[in-house]
Protein backbone atom coordinates (compact mmCIF):
# COMPACT_ATOMS: atom_id res chain seq x y z
CA UNK A 1 0.00 0.00 0.00
CA UNK A 2 1.16 3.50 -0.77
CA UNK A 3 -0.08 6.77 0.63
CA UNK A 4 -0.56 10.28 -0.66
CA UNK A 5 -1.21 13.53 1.20
CA UNK A 6 -3.93 15.87 -0.04
CA UNK A 7 -4.65 19.10 1.86
CA UNK A 8 -2.72 17.65 4.78
CA UNK A 9 -4.83 14.47 4.84
CA UNK A 10 -3.17 11.10 4.37
CA UNK A 11 -4.90 8.95 1.76
CA UNK A 12 -4.05 5.27 1.61
CA UNK A 13 -4.09 3.51 -1.74
CA UNK A 14 -5.37 -0.03 -2.31
CA UNK A 15 -5.98 -0.52 1.42
CA UNK A 16 -7.66 -3.83 2.45
CA UNK A 17 -10.97 -3.07 4.11
CA UNK A 18 -10.92 -6.45 5.84
CA UNK A 19 -8.67 -4.72 8.39
CA UNK A 20 -11.59 -2.53 9.45
CA UNK A 21 -14.81 -4.53 9.01
CA UNK A 22 -16.25 -6.55 11.89
CA UNK A 23 -16.63 -9.58 9.60
CA UNK A 24 -12.90 -9.36 8.79
CA UNK A 25 -13.83 -9.61 5.10
CA UNK A 26 -13.83 -7.22 2.17
CA UNK A 27 -11.62 -6.19 -0.71
CA UNK A 28 -9.46 -3.07 -0.98
CA UNK A 29 -10.49 0.56 -1.15
CA UNK A 30 -8.93 2.34 -4.11
CA UNK A 31 -8.30 5.29 -1.79
CA UNK A 32 -9.01 5.45 1.94
CA UNK A 33 -8.93 8.40 4.35
CA UNK A 34 -9.60 8.94 8.05
CA UNK A 35 -10.59 12.59 8.54
CA UNK A 36 -10.28 14.10 12.02
CA UNK A 37 -12.38 17.25 11.53
CA UNK A 38 -15.42 18.51 9.69
CA UNK A 39 -13.13 20.67 7.56
CA UNK A 40 -11.21 17.58 6.49
CA UNK A 41 -14.44 15.78 5.55
CA UNK A 42 -15.41 18.80 3.47
CA UNK A 43 -12.00 18.81 1.79
CA UNK A 44 -12.28 15.11 0.96
CA UNK A 45 -15.79 15.49 -0.46
CA UNK A 46 -14.54 18.36 -2.61
CA UNK A 47 -11.52 16.30 -3.71
CA UNK A 48 -13.74 13.39 -4.75
CA UNK A 49 -16.03 15.72 -6.65
CA UNK A 50 -13.18 17.47 -8.48
CA UNK A 51 -11.54 14.16 -9.40
CA UNK A 52 -14.81 12.51 -10.41
CA UNK A 53 -14.37 9.77 -7.82
CA UNK A 54 -17.24 7.77 -6.36
CA UNK A 55 -17.51 8.53 -2.62
CA UNK A 56 -18.30 6.00 0.11
CA UNK A 57 -18.58 6.88 3.80
CA UNK A 58 -18.23 4.26 6.54
CA UNK A 59 -18.51 4.39 10.30
CA UNK A 60 -17.34 1.59 12.58
CA UNK A 61 -18.07 -1.04 9.87
CA UNK A 62 -19.93 -3.26 12.34
CA UNK A 63 -23.18 -3.86 10.41
CA UNK A 64 -21.51 -3.85 7.03
CA UNK A 65 -20.41 -6.25 4.31
CA UNK A 66 -17.83 -5.01 1.82
CA UNK A 67 -17.75 -7.25 -1.24
CA UNK A 68 -14.48 -8.94 -2.16
CA UNK A 69 -13.88 -6.65 -5.14
CA UNK A 70 -13.52 -3.73 -2.75
CA UNK A 71 -14.68 -0.16 -3.25
CA UNK A 72 -13.89 2.06 -6.19
CA UNK A 73 -13.06 5.72 -5.75
CA UNK A 74 -12.60 7.36 -2.35
CA UNK A 75 -13.71 5.75 0.90
CA UNK A 76 -13.90 7.77 4.10
CA UNK A 77 -13.93 6.10 7.53
CA UNK A 78 -15.12 8.48 10.23
CA UNK A 79 -13.86 6.71 13.35
CA UNK A 80 -11.24 9.40 14.08
CA UNK A 81 -14.10 11.88 14.59
CA UNK A 82 -15.12 10.57 18.00
CA UNK A 83 -15.59 13.56 20.32
CA UNK A 84 -18.43 13.28 22.85
CA UNK A 85 -19.75 16.20 24.88
CA UNK A 86 -22.38 16.38 27.61
CA UNK A 87 -24.34 19.57 28.24
CA UNK A 88 -27.15 19.46 30.77
CA UNK A 89 -29.42 16.58 29.81
CA UNK A 90 -28.11 16.33 26.26
CA UNK A 91 -25.24 14.32 24.79
CA UNK A 92 -23.66 15.41 21.50
CA UNK A 93 -21.37 12.99 19.70
CA UNK A 94 -19.45 13.12 16.46
CA UNK A 95 -20.33 10.53 13.85
CA UNK A 96 -17.28 8.36 14.48
CA UNK A 97 -17.86 8.01 18.22
CA UNK A 98 -18.71 4.47 19.25
CA UNK A 99 -22.23 3.98 20.56
CA UNK A 100 -20.77 2.05 23.48
CA UNK A 101 -18.61 5.03 24.45
CA UNK A 102 -21.53 7.43 24.00
CA UNK A 103 -23.77 5.42 26.30
CA UNK A 104 -20.96 5.31 28.87
CA UNK A 105 -20.66 9.10 28.71
CA UNK A 106 -24.41 9.36 29.30
CA UNK A 107 -24.12 7.01 32.28
CA UNK A 108 -21.28 9.04 33.82
CA UNK A 109 -23.46 12.15 33.54
CA UNK A 110 -26.40 10.39 35.18
CA UNK A 111 -28.48 10.44 31.99
CA UNK A 112 -30.83 7.61 31.08
CA UNK A 113 -32.73 6.42 27.94
CA UNK A 114 -29.57 5.47 26.00
CA UNK A 115 -29.07 2.14 27.76
CA UNK A 116 -30.63 0.16 24.90
CA UNK A 117 -27.54 0.92 22.79
CA UNK A 118 -24.93 0.10 25.42
CA UNK A 119 -23.76 -3.05 23.64
CA UNK A 120 -24.26 -2.04 20.00
CA UNK A 121 -20.77 -1.95 18.45
CA UNK A 122 -21.55 0.60 15.74
CA UNK A 123 -20.77 4.30 15.50
CA UNK A 124 -23.13 7.20 16.15
CA UNK A 125 -23.22 8.11 12.46
CA UNK A 126 -24.10 4.58 11.42
CA UNK A 127 -26.72 4.35 14.15
CA UNK A 128 -28.39 7.54 12.96
CA UNK A 129 -28.15 6.42 9.33
CA UNK A 130 -30.03 3.19 10.00
CA UNK A 131 -32.05 4.20 13.07
CA UNK A 132 -30.33 1.49 15.07
CA UNK A 133 -32.20 -0.11 17.91
CA UNK A 134 -32.24 -2.91 20.45
CA UNK A 135 -34.27 -4.07 23.44
CA UNK A 136 -37.24 -1.82 22.75
CA UNK A 137 -35.29 1.38 22.06
CA UNK A 138 -34.33 3.13 18.83
CA UNK A 139 -32.23 6.16 17.92
CA UNK A 140 -35.39 7.99 16.85
CA UNK A 141 -36.62 7.88 20.47
CA UNK A 142 -33.82 10.09 21.78
CA UNK A 143 -32.33 12.02 18.85
CA UNK A 144 -33.04 15.73 18.80
CA UNK A 145 -30.67 17.15 16.15
CA UNK A 146 -28.26 16.04 13.43
CA UNK A 147 -25.54 17.90 11.54
CA UNK A 148 -24.88 16.54 8.05
CA UNK A 149 -22.76 17.36 5.04
CA UNK A 150 -24.72 17.28 1.81
CA UNK A 151 -23.29 15.80 -1.41
CA UNK A 152 -22.84 19.40 -2.54
CA UNK A 153 -20.55 20.04 0.42
CA UNK A 154 -22.98 22.16 2.46
CA UNK A 155 -23.53 21.80 6.20
CA UNK A 156 -27.16 21.25 7.10
CA UNK A 157 -29.06 20.74 10.36
CA UNK A 158 -32.03 18.37 10.74
CA UNK A 159 -34.33 17.89 13.68
CA UNK A 160 -35.91 14.58 14.60
CA UNK A 161 -39.01 15.07 12.46
CA UNK A 162 -36.99 15.99 9.38
CA UNK A 163 -35.04 12.73 9.63
CA UNK A 164 -38.17 10.75 8.69
CA UNK A 165 -37.15 7.81 10.85
CA UNK A 166 -38.73 4.39 10.32
CA UNK A 167 -37.66 0.84 11.09
CA UNK A 168 -33.94 0.79 10.14
CA UNK A 169 -34.56 3.78 7.87
CA UNK A 170 -33.76 7.50 7.87
CA UNK A 171 -33.77 10.45 5.52
CA UNK A 172 -30.02 10.36 4.93
CA UNK A 173 -30.30 6.96 3.23
CA UNK A 174 -32.19 8.76 0.48
CA UNK A 175 -30.28 12.04 0.33
CA UNK A 176 -26.71 10.76 0.51
CA UNK A 177 -25.92 13.25 3.28
CA UNK A 178 -22.97 12.40 5.52
CA UNK A 179 -23.85 12.40 9.22
CA UNK A 180 -21.24 14.44 11.10
CA UNK A 181 -22.74 14.90 14.56
CA UNK A 182 -25.85 13.98 16.54
CA UNK A 183 -27.43 15.31 19.71
CA UNK A 184 -29.53 13.15 22.03
CA UNK A 185 -32.08 14.33 24.58
CA UNK A 186 -31.88 12.17 27.69
CA UNK A 187 -33.44 11.95 31.14
CA UNK A 188 -31.63 12.37 34.48
CA UNK A 189 -31.73 9.21 36.59
CA UNK A 190 -29.77 7.61 39.44
CA UNK A 191 -26.47 6.28 38.12
CA UNK A 192 -26.79 2.91 39.91
CA UNK A 193 -30.12 2.33 38.13
CA UNK A 194 -28.59 3.19 34.74
CA UNK A 195 -25.60 0.91 35.33
CA UNK A 196 -27.81 -1.93 36.50
CA UNK A 197 -29.88 -1.78 33.29
CA UNK A 198 -26.75 -1.58 31.11
CA UNK A 199 -25.27 -4.59 32.91
CA UNK A 200 -28.50 -6.57 32.43
CA UNK A 201 -28.65 -5.79 28.71
CA UNK A 202 -24.98 -6.56 28.16
CA UNK A 203 -25.31 -9.86 29.99
CA UNK A 204 -28.36 -10.70 27.89
CA UNK A 205 -26.47 -9.84 24.72
CA UNK A 206 -23.44 -11.92 25.70
CA UNK A 207 -25.61 -14.93 26.54
CA UNK A 208 -27.53 -14.88 23.26
CA UNK A 209 -25.20 -13.46 20.62
CA UNK A 210 -22.01 -15.01 19.16
CA UNK A 211 -19.68 -12.25 20.27
CA UNK A 212 -16.71 -14.62 20.19
CA UNK A 213 -16.65 -14.67 16.36
CA UNK A 214 -16.34 -11.93 13.74
CA UNK A 215 -19.77 -11.07 12.35
CA UNK A 216 -21.79 -8.20 10.92
CA UNK A 217 -24.36 -8.37 13.70
CA UNK A 218 -27.99 -9.02 12.92
CA UNK A 219 -28.11 -9.83 9.21
CA UNK A 220 -31.82 -9.52 8.40
CA UNK A 221 -34.57 -7.07 9.25
CA UNK A 222 -37.39 -8.46 11.33
CA UNK A 223 -40.41 -9.16 9.09
CA UNK A 224 -43.74 -8.06 10.49
CA UNK A 225 -45.24 -10.83 12.55
CA UNK A 226 -42.13 -13.03 12.50
CA UNK A 227 -38.78 -13.53 14.22
CA UNK A 228 -35.82 -14.23 11.99
CA UNK A 229 -33.78 -16.52 14.26
CA UNK A 230 -36.59 -19.00 14.97
CA UNK A 231 -37.56 -19.15 11.29
CA UNK A 232 -33.97 -20.00 10.33
CA UNK A 233 -33.87 -22.64 13.07
CA UNK A 234 -37.19 -24.18 12.04
CA UNK A 235 -36.02 -24.30 8.43
CA UNK A 236 -33.14 -26.49 9.63
CA UNK A 237 -30.45 -24.03 8.58
CA UNK A 238 -28.67 -23.35 11.86
CA UNK A 239 -25.04 -24.42 11.70
CA UNK A 240 -24.97 -24.50 7.90
CA UNK A 241 -21.58 -23.53 6.43
CA UNK A 242 -20.58 -21.96 3.15
CA UNK A 243 -16.84 -21.56 2.89
CA UNK A 244 -15.70 -20.04 6.16
CA UNK A 245 -19.10 -18.55 7.00
CA UNK A 246 -21.59 -20.27 9.29
CA UNK A 247 -25.09 -19.61 10.54
CA UNK A 248 -24.34 -19.17 14.21
CA UNK A 249 -25.15 -22.03 16.53
CA UNK A 250 -25.74 -19.48 19.28
CA UNK A 251 -28.10 -17.13 17.41
CA UNK A 252 -29.42 -18.13 14.00
CA UNK A 253 -29.90 -14.50 12.99
CA UNK A 254 -26.12 -14.08 12.85
CA UNK A 255 -23.65 -15.25 10.22
CA UNK A 256 -20.21 -15.70 11.76
CA UNK A 257 -16.75 -15.93 10.26
CA UNK A 258 -15.38 -19.18 11.67
CA UNK A 259 -12.57 -19.90 9.20
CA UNK A 260 -11.26 -17.11 6.98
CA UNK A 261 -14.62 -16.44 5.34
CA UNK A 262 -14.87 -14.12 2.37
CA UNK A 263 -17.56 -11.59 1.61
CA UNK A 264 -18.58 -13.91 -1.23
CA UNK A 265 -19.22 -16.62 1.39
CA UNK A 266 -21.40 -14.17 3.31
CA UNK A 267 -23.37 -13.17 0.24
CA UNK A 268 -23.92 -16.81 -0.73
CA UNK A 269 -25.16 -17.55 2.79
CA UNK A 270 -27.56 -14.61 2.72
CA UNK A 271 -29.05 -15.86 -0.55
CA UNK A 272 -29.21 -19.41 0.84
CA UNK A 273 -31.13 -18.29 3.92
CA UNK A 274 -33.47 -16.08 1.89
CA UNK A 275 -34.26 -18.92 -0.53
CA UNK A 276 -34.97 -21.48 2.19
CA UNK A 277 -36.98 -19.20 4.48
CA UNK A 278 -39.09 -18.08 1.52
CA UNK A 279 -39.74 -21.70 0.53
CA UNK A 280 -40.63 -22.75 4.09
CA UNK A 281 -42.56 -19.73 5.37
CA UNK A 282 -43.38 -17.61 2.33
CA UNK A 283 -41.45 -14.74 3.93
CA UNK A 284 -38.91 -12.72 1.94
CA UNK A 285 -36.11 -11.71 4.28
CA UNK A 286 -34.57 -8.33 3.66
CA UNK A 287 -30.98 -7.67 4.72
CA UNK A 288 -30.48 -5.25 7.58
CA UNK A 289 -26.74 -5.30 7.04
CA UNK A 290 -25.46 -2.69 4.60
CA UNK A 291 -23.82 -4.32 1.56
CA UNK A 292 -21.43 -2.22 -0.51
CA UNK A 293 -18.58 -2.57 -3.00
CA UNK A 294 -18.02 -4.57 -6.17
CA UNK A 295 -18.08 -8.32 -6.68
CA UNK A 296 -14.67 -8.44 -8.34
CA UNK A 297 -11.69 -6.13 -8.49
CA UNK A 298 -11.26 -4.16 -11.68
- Would you list the domain boundaries of the chain? 2-77, 84-206, 211-292
What does the alpha-carbon distance between residue 155 and residue 11 come to, in Å, rounded to a whole number?
23
Sign of the CA dihedral running 165, 170, 174, 179: positive
Alpha carbons within 13 A on the beta-carbon side of 251: 22
Q: Bridge-partner residues for 71, per DSSP?
A: 29
The CATH code that applies to domain 211-292 is 3.90.78.10
The answer to whether domain 2-77 and domain 84-206 are alike in fold is no
Of 168, 170, 248, 290, the catalytic one is: 168
- Residue 152, number of CB atoms within 10 A of its CB: 10
- Continuous segment of H or E residues that includes residue 197: helix 191-208
CATH number of 2-77: 3.30.43.10
For the question of residue 215 being annotated catalytic, the response is: no
Contact 40, 79 (CB under 8 A): no
Q: Is 288 annotated as catalytic?
A: yes
Angle value at C-alpha 46, between 40 and 49, nearest 5 degrees: 145
pTM summary value: 0.92
Catalytic residue (choose from 40, 170, 288, 290):
288
Question: Which architecture characterizes domain 84-206 according to CATH?
Answer: 2-Layer Sandwich (3.30)
CA 88, 90, 94, 99 torsion-angle sign = positive
Let me know if 115 is a catalytic residue.
Answer: no
Candidates 112, 123, 218, 248; catalytic one: 218
Tens of pLDDT along the chain (298 residues) come to 566 777 789 999 999 999 999 999 999 999 999 999 999 999 999 999 999 999 999 999 999 999 999 999 999 999 999 999 999 999 999 999 999 999 999 999 999 999 999 999 999 999 999 999 999 999 999 999 999 999 988 999 999 999 999 999 999 999 999 999 999 999 999 999 999 999 999 999 999 999 899 999 999 999 999 999 999 999 999 999 999 999 999 999 999 999 999 999 999 999 999 999 999 999 999 999 999 999 765 4
Q: What pLDDT sits at residue 296?
A: 65
User: 116 and 194 in contact (C-beta within 8 Å)?
Assistant: no
C-alpha to C-alpha distance for 150 and 286, rounded to whole angstroms? 27
Amino acid sequence: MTAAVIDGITILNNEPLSKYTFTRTGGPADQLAFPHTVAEVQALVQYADEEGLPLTVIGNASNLIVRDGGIRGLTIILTAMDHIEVSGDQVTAQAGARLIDTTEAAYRAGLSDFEFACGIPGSVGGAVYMNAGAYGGEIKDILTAVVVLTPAGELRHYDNAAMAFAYRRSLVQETGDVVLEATFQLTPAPKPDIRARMDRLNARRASKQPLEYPSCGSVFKRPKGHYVGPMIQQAGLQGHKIGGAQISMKHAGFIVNINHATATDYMAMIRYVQKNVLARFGVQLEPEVRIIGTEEAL
